Amino acid sequence: MSPANGRRVVVVRHGETDHNAGGVWQGQLDTPLSERGIEQARAAGAALAAYRPTRVVASDLDRATVTARHIAEAAGLEVALDPRWREIHVGQWQGMHTTQVRAEYAELLEQMDLEDVRRGVDGETLAEVGDRAGSALREVLDGLGEGECVVVVAHGVSSRAAVAEVLGIDQHVATHALATLGNCHWAELAQTRTGWSLAAWNAHA
């Protein structure tokens, strides 16, 4: 379907961090971009400038904020921060390596495959992330003018959860069907005559 009024939102996952590369659960730990992550952010900025965005919004965690600044700089814009876009809080898993989590929380990981349980015992559920990030995305969508494109820079889970919430996709289904955006990969939402549609998923520079 063709876009209606050219309204678009591009939701980008931040660039790579050392924790991403090393298999460490980050959640809401405020980790910086790696050198590769900075290169990814610059490349994404050059590619996304072609969308001619009018605004750039980002999670207030450093890895998203710095990625957003590179994207905004390429488009001649400033960055507005919104903590609702933060990554899912993974509770006791934050800072733990994936091998340690698998060894110590095997039963909880198995439960996660079947239902929406709290990550890391006392972290967030997907539904909770969908509620907060989805509300932020709806606010962006509702504020779009004709022909306007807004870029949002967030995280793997919060990006997917927000898109799923807005499109009415079950969070558990989205987890398995869409998986996670790669670092500095993005989802594109476009408005059609019948509503919002997913025009691209895991696109990249």
List the catalytic residues. 14, 87
SS3 103: helix
Measured CA distances, 27 to 63, 100, 152, 172, 196 (Å): 12, 16, 18, 18, 28
Q: Report how many helices (DSSP H) and strands (DSSP E) the chain contains, helices first.
A: 8, 6
Instruction: Extract the tokens encoding 164.
Output: 């799923």
Q: How many CB atoms lie within 10 A of CB 98?
A: 13
Residues 121, 176 contacting (CB under 8 angstroms): no
